Each structure stands twice: as structure tokens, then as C-alpha cells.
Amino acid sequence: MPDLATILAGAADAATLSNLFFIILGVAIGQVVGAIPGMTILMALAIAIPITYTMDTLTAIAFLISVNKGGTVGGAIPAILINTPGTPESAATALDGHPMAKKGQPMKAMRYSLYYSVFGDFWSDIVLITVAAPLAIVALKMGPVEVTALMVLAFTVITGLVGNSMVKGLIAAALGCLCASIGLDPGQGTPRFTFGSLNLYDGLPLTAMSIGLLAVAEIFHQIAKTTKATAATAPIPMSVREDDGRLTLKDLLANRYVALRATVIGTLIGAIPGLGSATAGFLSYSITKQSAKDPESFGTGDPRGIAASEAANSAVVGANLIPLLTLGIPGNIAAALLVSAFIIHGIQPGPLLFKEQGQLIYGMFAAMLVANFANLAVGQIGMRFWAFAISAPNSVIYPASLLLCFTGSYVTAGGLFGVMIMLIFGVAGYFMRLFAISPIAFIIGYVLTPELESKLIQSVLITRGDPWKVLDHPIAIALLVLSVASIVYLGPRRRKGAKKAVDQPAA
């Protein structure tokens, strides 16, 4: 556990002028992108990673986390104003936010969403800061056999929870595992699937691949589906008046228990790998509605609905870093993208971070707390302006995003090889989306495999190749049993929901 001096030094690092600037910039970008329907936070994160290439590590991580935090606030704006969630996690906010806006109180609804969003996010960060270091100490006590079993469990849980079909989730994870084996193998350094190309000796560039799968695939989808009729759609008229937005402390405190419960739900869901903000928002909304004395008032502009959704979906942002920082397992795709940012700066996420990079981690924690206040301030000032981002034409947004992806891939992968990888995975991602094969399971499979392979090599050396020696590791056995149980439980459960569900990225 880092000492107080390390913690304070980290906090001081986060408070430099340049870091504060990039935190505010990140929050503003996140809020704007979140406010544009069709642009997801994941796209913003994937596009933003190349921009962090020249920043120092803490600035880069703080900037990306700020984009993520800003996106959760921004996503609520179109959900409230035009009943079209800017991001999937804001879908539950629309249920009461939009009716409140229709009653002539759009600013009030947006302010409710801003305050409860920041509240949930802040307390989730506090939980992360409190539990991450002790959990990392426990994680460090696990040997390679236990970690291998833990990763197998992570694979099964994540593939079972993302997407609509566990079979397709496992197919995606297996494809990710296969792609991760491209390059030199970690045991003996022999090339695999390099097809004589020197570019492939280091494996596929994660950033270019993520940009392709998450951003370019979505851009291709949006551009390809455009027709003359949809292109000619008239902009949505909006009226955002300042005088309808008065919100008192009493108004906010009236829903304190709802917000608190939503924060707990969001934090718990965020800490479980594979579940996303959208699940947290809807679960919290549903529980709040069911436990209310007047459930019929929900859906008519009840602020409790906004509090339940926003506090829960924002609480996921901090908590989803718990598995990443303590176990090195990215709990969702935003965490997986942060892994690529860590790797760009030569850092391997996992429990050792607290030991080797304590100052950086506590700097990151401080930056997260600062980003919450920046979210509040930027949201207060900018919300009514971001509302106009909704009316920006797709004919500018998607070509501009495509060019940023193109240039970002060129810059991070050191040339046109990266752009080619981006294009290949952009097309692949389009078809994965079409066939409901989760790109999230793919990327998480890709990120976990190198670590799994190196731990497996260590496990084989420890057990001298005798698989029965695993019986000497009861924790590993328990984790493997849980893996089988998760397949048995989650497989049929996902099949039942498959008819109505559509593959939704977990942010």
C-alpha cells in the first residue's frame, strides 16, 4: 500500500495547470460528443487515444477518464430534449427527463441529470479509491495458477453478459484470443501468423484495431444507411430557456435516498466485469419505480426517475476501474481502451501498479475527483450550448470522425499499416454488429490473452506440466467451478432474452 507521501505527491501531480486544462477539455469534449446522437463515448475515447500520444502518462489518463465522465453527462441532453439518448446508458433518463422537458422544464431536467450524475460518479470514485489498494494487495497474493483460473472466469462472465448470445460472445472472445496470438509468442519468441510481414511481429496495434471496431464500424454503419430521404430530415427545433431551470437544494435533497441507492447499484454493477452503464441505469430505474408508493407518476416527468437513472449510470464509470486496477482485467470496453492508453505509455495495468506506479495511480484518483467538479462546472455553463450540438448535421459529424480515425490510426501505429488495420477491423466490426457478435467480447479477449498466456506458461512451469497439480490450488479450483457455473447459468439466460435484445456496447 503506498505511503502518504506517495498519495500526496500523486494528488499534487494532478493539480498542475496543464492537467487541469486537459481535464476540463476532456470533460467538455465528452459532454459535446455525448450530446450528439449516434456518437458514443466509446467512439470519442477511441478517437481521443491517439491525441494523448504526446502527453505524459497522467495527463493522458486524466484526459481520457474526463472524456468518459463528460460523456455520461452529455448523453442525457438529447435524451431529455428530443427523447433520443445520446449514449445507450442515458436511455432510462429519457423516460422521465423528456416528459419533464415537454412540460416546459428542459433546463430543470438537464440540471437534475447533471447534479445526480456527478453525485453518482463522485461516490463511485470514492469507493474505487477506498477499495482498490486493499483488493490489489489480495490480488498480489494470488499465484499464476489462481490468476489463470481468474482470467478463465473473467472470459466466461464477460462473454456471457455482453451481447445477446453466449455462443456468439464466446466466438468473439475466441477470435480476439486468436488475433492476440499474432506476433511473437511470449514463451519462445517464435513468429505466429505473421505471413512474412515485419509489421506483424509486434502483433496487431490495439489502438488502431479499437478505433476500427468501435468508431469506424459505427461511422460506416451510419454513412452506409444514409438515404436521400434521411439526409433531408429537417433539424429538430429546440427551445432552451434559462428561466425554467431553477433548482433548489431542497429539490435535490428530496431525492437523496433514490440517488444514494442508485449510486450503490451503479457501483456494484460497475465492479462486475461485463455489465455496463445502460444495465445500471435501467435496473436502478426499475427498482426505484417498483419501490415507490406512486409508481404511476414515473414516466410523467418525475425527478426520481432522472435521479435513479443518472446516478446509477454515472456510478459505473469509477467502479469499472476496480477490476482493471486490482486484477488487470478490463471490466468493460472503456476500461479496455484505457488499457491501450496505459500500454502506449509503457505501463501494464494490474495489481502491481500500486507498488510500482503508486504516484501515478493516486494522481489518477485525484484527477478523477477533479474531473467530477469540472463536469459540474462545465455542465452548468455549457449545457444549454451543448444542446445545439444535437442539430449539427451528420454530413459533417461522420466524415470528420472518419478523418480523425484515419489520422489517429496513422499516428499511433506509425504509418499506413495502422490505417489498413483500422479499415480491416472497421469492416469486420460492421459485420460483427450486423450479426450481433460482440466487439466488446472480442477486444476484451484480445486484451486478456497475452496475460493469460504468460500466466499459463508460469503455471505449467510451477506444476511441471502435471494438470492434476491444480488440485493443490483450492482457490483456482473454486474459480474454475465458478467459470463452468457461469456458462451453465448465463448461457440459457441470454438465449431467453435474445429475441428482443439488440447488441448494445457496454460503456
Residue 3, C-beta contacts closer than 8 angstroms, at least 6 positions apart = none
Residue in 208, 265, 339, 419 binding other proteins, rule: CB under 8 A: 419
Helix (H) or strand (E) holding 323: helix 322-327
Give the residue, chosen from 292, 411, 475, 487, that forms a contact with other proteins under the rule CB under 8 A. 411
Name the amino acid, one letter, at 84.
Answer: T
Q: Which of 242, 243, 250, 465 binds other proteins (CB under 8 A)?
A: 465
Least distance (Å) between residue 179 CB and other proteins: 9
Footprint on residues 232-251 left by other proteins (CB under 8 A): 232
Nearer to other proteins, 17 or 396 (CB): 396
For residues 467 to 506, the per-residue mask of contacts with other proteins, x marking binding by CB under 8 A and - elsewhere, is ----------------------------x--xx-xxx---
CA-wise closest residue to 150 among 357, 353, 451: 451
Of the candidates 68, 64, 51, 56, the one whose C-alpha atom is nearest the C-alpha of residue 13 is 56
- Which of 425, 491, 461 is closest to 148 using CA atoms? 461
Nearer to other proteins, 414 or 474 (CB): 414
Is residue 171 a contact point for other proteins (CB under 8 A)? yes
The answer to whether 22 and 63 have CB atoms below 8 angstroms apart is yes
Answer for which of 69, 98, 111, 168 binds other proteins (CB under 8 A) is 168
Closest separation in Å from C-beta 96 to other proteins: 29
Query: Which residue has cell 489463470?
Result: 148
Q: Scanning residues 6 to 35, which ones bind other proteins (CB under 8 A)?
A: none
Enumerate residues 388-407 that contact other proteins by CB under 8 A: 393-396, 398-400, 402-404, 406-407
Within 182-241, the residues that bind other proteins by CB under 8 A are 185, 187-188, 190-195, 220, 223-228, 231-232
Q: Which of residues 50-79 bind other proteins (CB under 8 A)?
A: 50-51, 53-54
Residues 6+ positions from 254 with CB-CB distance below 8 Å: 303
Query: Exactly one of 91, 114, 456, 476 binds other proteins (CB under 8 A); which one?
Result: 456
- Cβ burial 84-106 (10 Å sphere, 16+ → b, else e): bbbbbbbbbbbbbbbbbbeeebb
Supply the DSSP symbol for 256: H
State which of positions 353-382 bind other proteins (CB under 8 A). Answer: none
Nearer to other proteins, 188 or 290 (CB): 188
Distance CA 327, CA 323 (A): 5
Helix (H) or strand (E) holding 184: strand 183-184
| 4 or 224: CB nearest other proteins | 224
